[in-house]
Amino acid sequence: MTTDSSIPALEMSDVTLELGDGDSRVRALDGVSLTVMPGEFVAIVGPSGSGKSSLLAIGGALARPDSGTVRVHGTDLATLSRGATTRFRLRRIGFVFQSGNLLPSLTAADQLRLAGRLAGNRRVDTEPLLDSVGMAHRAGHRPGELSGGERQRVGIARALVNDPSLLLVDEPTAALDRRRSHEVVGLLADRAQGSGVAVVMVTHDRDVLEHCDRVLEMVDGRLSAVLPVA
């Protein structure tokens, strides 16, 4: 997708989100503001339960905040109907989850074709995309026949099928050893630099932060500290 590089890929302003009921009600996001430009690779670190996945859900139009605004590539998500939100998400936003989240019965190439078809994109050129994540030689393999790192690479290729403006990544290295972790996160950094997609990655893995442009810390629903990248 050709993106105007002066428009933020993600702009969250003073976002709050409460989850749960009664005594277990939690302020998962407490006045979060975040701007990510095209081509930027931002990491968010922070303890478990601090609101990191909630931030990705709100930024990815999977949930709506209680207050505050969220714009993805200039579009205020609150202005979209339910159906329009789904179409917008499928076309403009890519998600990568912890273990790849692939469908067990589909080959790598078919995972990509399905993601394309869901967004109304009938002709997906799977080969160059799989090649770009070093997986062209595994196009016909199902997830059970792939290693953790390979599954994660297919998951990244699938998230990029519709050429999104924004890629949201939740703990991509949780199941990987150190070397694979660097490969996968390095791949994300290359994509951000090469194609201009903005990447927001949540991680526990401080070892991979060197690949990122910016590191933010989430504590108790607040995006508070900015840590310098070594």
Contact positions vs ligand ADP (CB under 6 A): 19-20, 26, 28, 46, 48-54
Nearest approach in angstroms of CB 60 to ligand ADP is 12
Partner in contact with 2, chosen from Mg ion, ligand ADP, none, beta carbon below 5 to 8 Å by kind: none
Binding partner of 19, given ligand ADP, Mg ion, none, CB within 5-8 angstroms per partner class? ligand ADP
Name the segment binding Mg ion (CB under 5 A); options: 9-17, 50-58, 89-97, 180-188: 50-58
- In the complex, what is the shortest distance from the CB of residue 144 to ligand ADP, in angstroms, rounded to a whole number? 27
Q: Decide which of Mg ion, ligand ADP, none touches 20; Cβ closer than 5 to 8 Å per partner kind.
A: ligand ADP
The three-state DSSP-derived secondary structure of the chain is: CCCCCCCCCEEEEEEEEEECCHHHCEEEEEEEEEEECCCCEEEEECCCCCCHHHHHHHHCCCCCCCEEEEEECCEEHHHCCHHHHHHHHHHHEEEECCCCCCCCCCCHHHHHHHHHHHCCCCCCCHHHHHHHCCCHHHCCCCHHHCCHHHHHHHHHHHHCCCCCCEEEEECCCCCCCHHHHHHHHHHHHHHHHHHCCEEEEECCCHHHHHHCCEEEEEECCEEEEEECCC
**Using rule CB under 5 A, residue 111 touches Mg ion:** no
Candidate list 3, 53, 107, 173; residue touching Mg ion; CB under 5 A: 53
- Count of chain residues binding Mg ion (CB under 5 A): 2
Which one of 48-56, 62-70, 129-137, 182-190 is the stretch in contact with Mg ion (CB under 5 A)? 48-56
Q: How far is the CB of 125 from ligand ADP (least distance, A)?
A: 34
User: Residue numbers of the site for Mg ion (CB under 5 A)?
Assistant: 52-53
